[in-house]
Amino acid sequence: MPALTLARFQRITPQQLRAFESAARLLSVTKAAQELYVSQPTVSVQLRELSVTTGQRLFETTGRQIRLTQAGEELYKAVREVAACWQRFEARIAEINGLVSGRLRIAAVTTAEYFVPDLLGPFSAAHQGVEIELAIENRDRVVGRLTQGIDDLAVMMMPPDDLPLERLQFQINPLVIITSSKHALANKTVELNELSTERWLMRESGSGTRMAAEQHFKEHNFKPNVVMSLGSNEAIKHSVAAGLGIAVLSQLALQPSVWSGAQSAAATTKTAVPLDYEALCQAGLSIVKVKDFPIIRHWSVVWRKDNPLSATARHFLDYLQAAAAQKKT
């Protein structure tokens, strides 16, 4: 803003602006005086001073009526913009203060437990007044919580289509096929249909991992020989390592969190962190290289469109978006 304009602006008092706003809105000095609980001459003086400072006639009189001149219209617009700007500032401050004692309720599907705590860590450290409630459930139960509107946000791979949801996709989620490191298939490259006689271990029904695997198998006309369903990723890993069968699992369940330390720079919404094959082998596991694998899915954070987000949840989304953007650069 040029110095001259600023110098003029500094000579304007809040009382003058209030008198002007009221008179411009009500198109009456008398009514403005009544609204502001001051005398009519007081308002007239304030309007005259404002006119002198701006160097413009702000009102013109037609009979007993006043109306705004073109300059007056412009000033009225500027005053409303300043008021709107101030309201936004106050709302933001209220939001920031609200964070001090806010609560953030997040539901995350079981596979997300491998990285959600690393995401929440820095946020929690930076907002010590925020109480975070994290519920870890399988996909079906997270969808149930979304239906009931229990949480502010949910982290999942396959958001349901039949709920009014907003979503922010922030991380790739490749699903791979694992075997025991002693299995003949370990580190081999094969076609999917060569695996039809294998013993398949699946996550329980209601799991998003299972749902994604089943969709993929169906698309490729493949029927796995499912011998066991297990209720957690860890149970799958241990059973596969023990040689009970092979399974589809999120790559994130096999490696350190992509959001922790140096790893975070390497993962994006398009590229996953490379696997540490040695560590995998030490855990008794190996990846089977299968055509049309990995299944590429993504992690999203979702929230209900019909449930206004709390200031805390919005703040967390901003943080997540910034963290994801940082990983892309």
The residue (of 102 and 159) whose beta carbon lies closer to ligand PGA is 159
Size of the site for ligand PGA (CB under 6 A): 12
Q: What is the DSSP string of 121-155?
A: HHHHHH-TTPEEEEEEE-HHHHHHHHHHT--SEEE
- β-sheet bridge partners, residue 310: none
Burial of 28 (0-12, 13-18, 19+ CB in 10 A): middle
111 contacts ligand PGA (rule: CB under 6 A): yes
* Residue among 172, 175, 174, 176 nearest 328 (CA): 172
**In this structure, which amino acid lies at residue 201?**
L
Binding residue for ligand PGA, selected from 109, 195, 280, 320, defined by CB under 6 A: 109
Choices 54-62, 108-116, 120-128, 219-227; region in contact with ligand PGA by CB under 6 A: 108-116
Binding residue for ligand PGA, selected from 16, 46, 51, 110, defined by CB under 6 A: 110
246 contacts ligand PGA (rule: CB under 6 A): no
Minimum distance from residue 9 beta carbon to ligand PGA (Å): 55
Minimum distance from residue 115 beta carbon to ligand PGA (Å): 12
Choices 152-160, 174-182, 237-245, 279-287; region in contact with ligand PGA by CB under 6 A: 152-160
Binding residue for ligand PGA, selected from 138, 181, 255, 286, defined by CB under 6 A: 138
The residue (of 50 and 156) whose beta carbon lies closer to ligand PGA is 156
Q: Restricting to residues 155-184, which ones interact with ligand PGA according to CB under 6 A?
A: 156-158
Q: Restricting to residues 251-310, which ones interact with ligand PGA according to CB under 6 A?
A: none
Minimum distance from residue 233 beta carbon to ligand PGA (Å): 7
* Residue among 294, 291, 298, 290 nearest 275 (CA): 294
Q: Restricting to residues 196-225, which ones interact with ligand PGA according to CB under 6 A?
A: 203, 207-209
The residue (of 58 and 158) whose beta carbon lies closer to ligand PGA is 158
107 contacts ligand PGA (rule: CB under 6 A): no
The residue (of 20 and 115) whose beta carbon lies closer to ligand PGA is 115
Choices 20-28, 106-114, 124-132, 162-170; region in contact with ligand PGA by CB under 6 A: 106-114
Only one residue has tokens 């954070």, namely 301
The residue (of 95 and 118) whose beta carbon lies closer to ligand PGA is 118
The residue (of 112 and 290) whose beta carbon lies closer to ligand PGA is 112
Q: Which residue, judged by CB position, is nearest to ligand PGA in the bound state?
A: 208
Contact residues: ligand PGA, CB under 6 A:
109-111, 138-139, 156-158, 203, 207-209
